[in-house]
Amino acid sequence: MILLNLLNNTKMKRLVFLALIFTCNLVISQIKSQKMDYKKYTDEDWKKILTEDQFHILREEGTEYPGSSKYNDFWESGTYVCVACETPLYLSENKFDAHCGWPSFDAGIDKNIDLGVDYKIGYARTELRCKTCGGHLGHVFDDGPTKTGKRHCLNGLALKFIPNKK
C-alpha cells in the first residue's frame, strides 16, 4: 500500500512537472508571437525601442533635417534595413546622390515596402512605409534620374545599414 502511494506520487509529480513545462512553453511562445506583432505596439512600446528622433520619424511621420543623415554621403555596399524591425528595405546598389539632403534610392525591396498617400504639405505625396512594422520611412517621387524614374527620398534615421560580408 505504501509502495502504491509512492508510485502514484511519483506519477503525479511527473504529471505536474510536464504540465508546468507545457504551460511555460505556451506562455513563452505567446510572448514571442506578441513581440513580433508590431501592429499591436503602442507608442509606449515603441518608445522603449526607438530614440526620440527615430520615434518622431517612424511613428509620427516626421522628417529629419536635410543634410543631417550620416547616410547622405555614404557609399558602402550592403543593405539598409528598417531601424525598428530590421526588415531589409534598400540595397546600396540602388543608392544615388540626389543632392536633395536625404539618402535617396532609385528602387526599394518592393515586397517589404507599403505605399500610402499623404497630404501633409498640401498636395498628394506617395508615402513609404515599412510593411512589417508600419513605420514611416519617407516619400517616393517620379523625378529619379535613372531608368526606374523613381526617387525614394528616405529619412536616414529610419534606416540601419548592414554591410555586405566580405
Which residue numbers are catalytic? Answer: 153
Please report which residue ranges of the chain form alpha helices under DSSP H.
2-36, 43-49, 52-60
Q: Which is nearer to Zn ion, 104 or 132 (CB)?
A: 132
Residues 102, 155 contacting (CB under 8 angstroms): yes
Residues 137, 128 contacting (CB under 8 angstroms): yes
Question: Which of 57, 85, 113, 153 lies at the binding interface for Zn ion (CB under 5 A)?
Answer: 85
**Could you please report the per-residue DSSP string of 107-144?**
---GGGEEEEEE-TTSS-EEEEEETTT--EEEEEES--
Residues 131-150 that bind Zn ion (CB under 5 A): 132-133, 135
Find the shortest distance in angstroms from Cβ 16 to Zn ion.
Answer: 42
Residue 100 grid cell: 536633395
Q: Which is nearer to Zn ion, 89 or 98 (CB)?
A: 89
- 128: contact with Zn ion by CB under 5 A: no
Q: Which is nearer to Zn ion, 54 or 132 (CB)?
A: 132
Site string for Zn ion, 28-67 (x = CB under 5 A): ----------------------------------------
Find the shortest distance in angstroms from Cβ 128 to Zn ion.
Answer: 11
Find the shortest distance in angstroms from Cβ 84 to Zn ion.
Answer: 5
Angstrom CA distances, 143 to 124, 157, 165, stand at 15, 23, 33
Alpha-carbon torsion angle 39, 44, 45, 50, nearest 10 = 100
Q: Which residues bind Zn ion (CB under 5 A)?
A: 82, 84-85, 87, 130, 132-133, 135
